[in-house]
């Protein structure tokens, strides 16, 4: 992997923490973003290379702008952005409260857009860089009790596919990861331990995602789908 400075949103747990560890093992400088500083510190304890921590709520456009400006000033250009922050609240469509509808659209969709906007100008001017959007298979198929979550993720899919077209011939690559449920705290209070037992481990998913980031001659991976058996 030729990326040197990596920014990961939602890096405090689950897949975000696994991706941070993998990037660190590859020698990258890892910038951990998330809403809970304590969780980010815990992730940082497992890293093998340099890192920075910034508290950030990706649903706030002004906060995103301020944090990414700080990163540019304090660390420099971003080579790889991984939009991983996400939230899911599951119930029948008619039961989902307005606050949860807003949170899913704001974090999953708008947060991805806001963070991406902050790196595009610099990446395009340098004619290099990569944006990885962690989407979920909920961005490919509708699911019972996941109507709004799917709506937010279908939005990320549309944004990602449009970016691929916009960034052709710029040297900037975009890549979407669509994965099924993973064994993480995302499912706390939703699935029982028995139900999560057979789900994918985030470390395995992180391995697959990172393997597809490796530069390969004449090959551009724009998406990968990872499903539970």
Give the max Cα distance, the chain.
49
d(CA 28, CA 179): 24
Element housing 49 (H / E):
none
Q: Which active-site residues does the annotation give?
A: 149
d(CA 162, CA 158): 6
- Check residue 137 and report its DSSP letter: G
Name 77's Cβ contacts closer than 8 Å, sequence gap at least 6.
5, 122, 123, 126, 129
d(CA 91, CA 98): 13
């Amino acid at each position: 992997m030729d990326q040197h400075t990596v920014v990961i949103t939602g890096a405090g747990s689950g897949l975000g923490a696994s991706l941070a560890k993998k990037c660190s093992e590859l020698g990258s400088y890892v910038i951990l973003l998330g809403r809970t500083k304590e969780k980010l510190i815990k992730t940082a304890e497992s890293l093998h290379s340099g890192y920075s921590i910034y508290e950030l709520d990706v649903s706030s456009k002004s906060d995103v702008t301020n944090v990414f400006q700080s990163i540019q000033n304090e660390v420099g250009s971003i080579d790889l952005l991984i939009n991983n922050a996400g939230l899911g609240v599951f119930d029948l469509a008619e039961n989902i409260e307005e606050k949860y509808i807003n949170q899913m659209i704001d974090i999953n969709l708008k947060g991805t857009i806001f963070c991406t906007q902050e790196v595009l100008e610099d990446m395009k001017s340098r004619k290099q860089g990569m944006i990885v959007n962690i989407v979920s298979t909920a961005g490919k198929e509708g699911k019972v009790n996941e109507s709004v979550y799917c709506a937010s993720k279908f939005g990320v899919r549309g944004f990602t596919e449009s970016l691929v077209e916009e960034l052709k011939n710029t040297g900037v690559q975009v890549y979407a990861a669509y994965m099924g449920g993973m064994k993480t705290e995302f499912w706390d209070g939703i699935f029982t331990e028995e139900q999560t037992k057979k789900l994918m481990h985030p470390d395995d998913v992180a391995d697959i995602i990172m393997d597809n980031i490796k530069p390969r001659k004449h090959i551009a991976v724009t998406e990968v789908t990872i499903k539970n058996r």
